[in-house]
Amino acid sequence: MVDQETLIHKTYPNIVSLGDVAGIPTSKTSAAVRKQLPIAVHNLIDVMKGNEPSKKYNGYACCPIVTDYGHVLLAEFDYNKDPDITFPFSLLDMSKEQRAAWMLKHDFLKPMFFYGMLNGWM
Ligand SMILES: Cc1cc2nc3c(=O)[nH]c(=O)nc-3n(C[C@H](O)[C@H](O)[C@H](O)COP(=O)(O)OP(=O)(O)OC[C@H]3O[C@@H](n4cnc5c(N)ncnc54)[C@H](O)[C@@H]3O)c2cc1C
Same-domain check for residues 67 and 104: yes
Residue 1: band (very low, low, confident or very high) from pLDDT cuts 50, 70, 90: confident
* CA angle, residues 28, 72, 78, in degrees to nearest 5: 40
Give the position, in ligand 1's atom list, of the atom nearest the Cα of 62.
11
CA nearest 76: which of 43, 35, 112?
35
Q: Give the structural domain span for 80.
A: 63-117
Choosing from 16, 27, 29, 35 the residue with most ligand 1 atoms within 8 A of its CB, the one to mutate for a pocket test is 29
Q: How many domains does the chain have?
A: 2
Give the position, in ligand 1's atom list, of the atom nearest the Cα of 109.
8
* 122 falls within a domain: no
Same-domain check for residues 109 and 72: yes
Ligand 1 site residues, Cβ closer than 6 angstroms: 19-21, 28-31, 33, 62, 64
Contact 57, 36 (CB under 8 A): yes
Residues 6+ positions from 70 with CB-CB distance below 8 Å: 99, 102
* pTM of the shown model: 0.88
pLDDT digits (tens, 9 = 90+) for 17-65: 999 999 999 999 988 999 999 999 999 999 999 999 999 999 999 998 9
**What is the distance between the alpha carbons of residues 103 and 98, in angstroms, rounded to a whole number?**
9
